[in-house]
Structure 1
């Protein structure tokens, strides 16, 4: 993918007018070539202009001396490229993403009495094939504990069994009448476990709903540019961008589960307007495309409908 560089001149207006109003990613650099910020938009020029006209972002824009732009064919390519660049380049002012290097897994276990318990584990990445006992993924431990505290109240779950309260006998919520006594063996384990599973349903990783891999094509509205993404089991395995000679490999993926990419892909596939761009491919053909790349245009084949069972955030 080509990168276009725009250097700051006296007039910001001239710089901004030169930016393409197309989908893609933009990178702000400072005077020492330090990367300040990475963003994405379906209209780069309009989005960058909003940065420079915002009083809240004036402190950032004063430091910008160079802008790089990487155009994509559509929104999906921009979302995936931004996510990858932030992780790889760690810009100074993408604060939340820059500091998010590990994810927190909430794993389900059971104690000797048959009550479900929760174990939090920090990992660098997740093997999606090992996701069955995982109830939820969180960005950090604080978010996980806040969620556990909330479902303890809304689903009358035991904070002691959720591992957010240390207690030798009963939890404090039992004393207040807010826990039905799982910590004391008074709550029925089957009913308790059903409430716990229901509490996590909205955050559970959705099962891959396709019998094969997915090929997703985006076509630029501004010209002949096309991008093709190969996706399987929520993992971006490869992508290709069109050239005059055919296609060249662009974003390289792997079989590691990336939570940010999962949320991007789930939201994209949930939107039925995108289904005309999606093709389900048998895994043998999918593996061949992985090796050789796409050879021809993708015929629109509607993908199976994804049913929303709650937030994927």
Structure 2
């Protein structure tokens, strides 16, 4: 039996070989939105040795408050010749490049640095961050340290530099605190940066102990499944590197409460390797729909979509249904909720005088007309005012809007919106706009999926950065096979083999795809990716001209307005902090 050397990605990066940059700031106040940086101090260390130091005063645009000047000793006179943050920040970022950032009470210092980057239009680097304050709270007992202030920890660990509320002195003291904490944790088997990051998190010891479950998962693209003691699926996810992604569930980077709860009850994780990222995305959707894991929020019930249907009768009307049948009529959908389906139906009723009553009508038995006929919203076929032939013009308009050009409905609803806006009835106009946007969005998606589902077979390829091609066989909107050709090899034999072994897919009922709607959308997104080439198309892949896609600006404008109407960020997903 031969031993195998684990990669850094598998075993973690050793602390002794990690370069840390310990940073401390002095500022004019406590809020990045109202205060500015006045001093940056940093120390670069690796393996216990100091590699370099960085220190600079920073001239703010505001005067230093008196109490801050007393606390830090930094005065306006000292800052008169100091560089602005626009000059100091790039120098610091270059000093810290490729290192793990460490700070005491990191949210404060990193918050100011992030705000400065945003102000200057500089992207914040993708760096790992350690907080010695949080780490100390996990390592030290209350009877040993009554608080976790830097001065307290510096005294406990015998720091060579006393904190003085000056950036470089405080950074030097934080270095000694960091080394003291690492020394303590060495007795607990913490030897890598990943394990050190894990210790500063709020993950419970029971959850932390399950990190070994990730070692069972391949470091390859695919789908991973968390299961409980009885083998029931708890959560299904996908990743380009399953082992790396699964490890994150046991570290501080995972902040979702539901995932923390899921990991607590998980007993095993298995990974299913996939040839391509599209195959992983599709397999994830299929497994979620089949297994219905309780910790997956989306895609669990693809069969619950709502469709808008033209009924099959002499005087058809619009109806909400759960299933598409092979009855030769027009369908639009699926909608994610009944509410959105009703909104789209209301947009059609606003533009086309198709009947809204639900009773069955016969041209041979006239009935009394309802109030909608008096309002001009219906041609009153129930009373004999419209014959079957005359009424069919409204039905054809709806059918055309579903399968082709919805221009008639769009124009009429827009006229109604403009009329309401001229009368300053803006809220009603916004309601009509949102209904129209819902209808157009559904028509665009339905037509795109129906066009793909009509193609018997489509073979597409995309060149990989590492060489070779990723190959997909798509039949009636369902992924039938996926594979990758070897770098430098002729991809045609791979395509032939893939087509020969691809899944047999039956022709679906229009406008359905052979797979789920979400699977068809994932395939369409991949086909829209730059660099994708069509190797073979068996059938006609086309959209009507014009189609609903010609009115995509309506959806874009509605989404923009909805976003602008929300003055506060959605913070419901944030976890409370002490």
Q: TM-score range by the shorter chain?
A: 0.5 to 0.7
Q: 1:264 aligns with which of 522, 526, 529?
A: 522
Cα distance change of structure 1 residues 47 and 250 upon mapping to structure 2, 3 Å threshold = farther
**Is residue 142 from structure 1 mapped to residue 399 from structure 2 by the alignment?**
no
The separation in 1 between residues aligned to 2:255 and 2:359, in whole angstroms, is: 41
**Which SS does the other structure have where 1:230 is aligned?**
strand
Cα distance change of structure 1 residues 90 and 191 upon mapping to structure 2, 3 Å threshold = same
User: Could you give the per-residue CA deviations for residues 235-281 of structure 1, whole angstroms, max 9, x where no partner exists?
Assistant: 44x3254699x868987452152233333333333x152532x3115
Higher RCO structure (Cα 8 Å, ≥6 apart) = 1
Aligned to 2:347: 151
Alpha carbons 2:227, 2:267 under 8 Å: kept: yes
TM-score, normalization: structure 2?
Answer: 0.37
Alpha carbons 2:451, 2:542 under 8 Å: kept: no
Cα distance change of structure 1 residues 304 and 99 upon mapping to structure 2, 3 Å threshold = closer
Aligned to 1:86: 288
Give the CA deviation at 1:29.
0.9
Give the CA deviation at 1:40.
2.3
Superposed CA RMSD: 4.8
Cα distance change of structure 1 residues 200 and 305 upon mapping to structure 2, 3 Å threshold = closer
Aligned to 1:197: 399
Cα distance change of structure 1 residues 34 and 219 upon mapping to structure 2, 3 Å threshold = farther
- State how 1:1-313 maps to structure 2 within 5 Å: 10-11=208-209, 22-44=220-242, 48=246, 53-57=254-258, 58-94=260-296, 97-101=299-303, 105-109=307-311, 111-112=313-314, 115-123=315-323, 130=326, 133-138=329-334, 142=338, 145-152=341-348, 154-158=350-354, 160=356, 163=358, 170=369, 177=375, 179-181=377-379, 189=391, 192-193=394-395, 195-197=397-399, 199-201=401-403, 202=443, 203-204=446-447, 205-208=449-452, 213-217=457-461, 228-236=471-479, 238-239=480-481, 241=483, 252-255=503-506, 256=508, 257-260=514-517, 261-269=519-527, 271-276=528-533, 278-281=534-537, 309-310=548-549
Alpha carbons 1:74, 1:218 under 8 Å: kept: no
Aligned to 1:4: none
Cα distance change of structure 1 residues 195 and 221 upon mapping to structure 2, 3 Å threshold = same
The separation in 2 between residues aligned to 1:171 and 1:76, in whole angstroms, is: 52
Alpha carbons 1:145, 1:164 under 8 Å: kept: no
Cα distance change of structure 1 residues 76 and 157 upon mapping to structure 2, 3 Å threshold = farther
Q: Extract unaligned runs of 5+ from structure 2.
A: 1-205, 362-366, 404-442, 487-493, 509-513, 553-578
TM-score, normalization: structure 1?
Answer: 0.61
Give the CA deviation at 1:77.
0.8
Give the CA deviation at 1:282.
5.2
Alpha carbons 2:289, 2:301 under 8 Å: kept: no
Give the CA deviation at 1:35.
0.7
Give the CA deviation at 1:76.
1.4
Aligned to 2:565: none
The separation in 1 between residues aligned to 2:229 and 2:369, in whole angstroms, is: 59
The separation in 2 between residues aligned to 1:110 and 1:155, in whole angstroms, is: 21
Alpha carbons 1:27, 1:37 under 8 Å: kept: yes
Q: Extract unaligned runs of 5+ from structure 1.
A: 1-7, 284-302
Alpha carbons 1:105, 1:122 under 8 Å: kept: yes
Alpha carbons 2:317, 2:354 under 8 Å: kept: no
Alpha carbons 1:151, 1:157 under 8 Å: kept: no
Cα distance change of structure 1 residues 215 and 149 upon mapping to structure 2, 3 Å threshold = closer
The separation in 1 between residues aligned to 2:329 and 2:240, in whole angstroms, is: 37
The separation in 2 between residues aligned to 1:29 and 1:281, in whole angstroms, is: 40
Cα distance change of structure 1 residues 50 and 99 upon mapping to structure 2, 3 Å threshold = same
Alpha carbons 2:276, 2:483 under 8 Å: kept: no
The separation in 2 between residues aligned to 1:154 and 1:68, in whole angstroms, is: 52
Alpha carbons 1:28, 1:37 under 8 Å: kept: yes
User: Could you give the per-residue CA deviations for residues 111-148 of structure 1, whole angstroms, max 9, x where no partner exists?
Assistant: 53xx542355544x87xxx5863322426783675245
**Which SS does the other structure have where 1:138 is aligned?**
strand
Matched length: 271
Larger Rg: 2
Cα distance change of structure 1 residues 84 and 164 upon mapping to structure 2, 3 Å threshold = farther
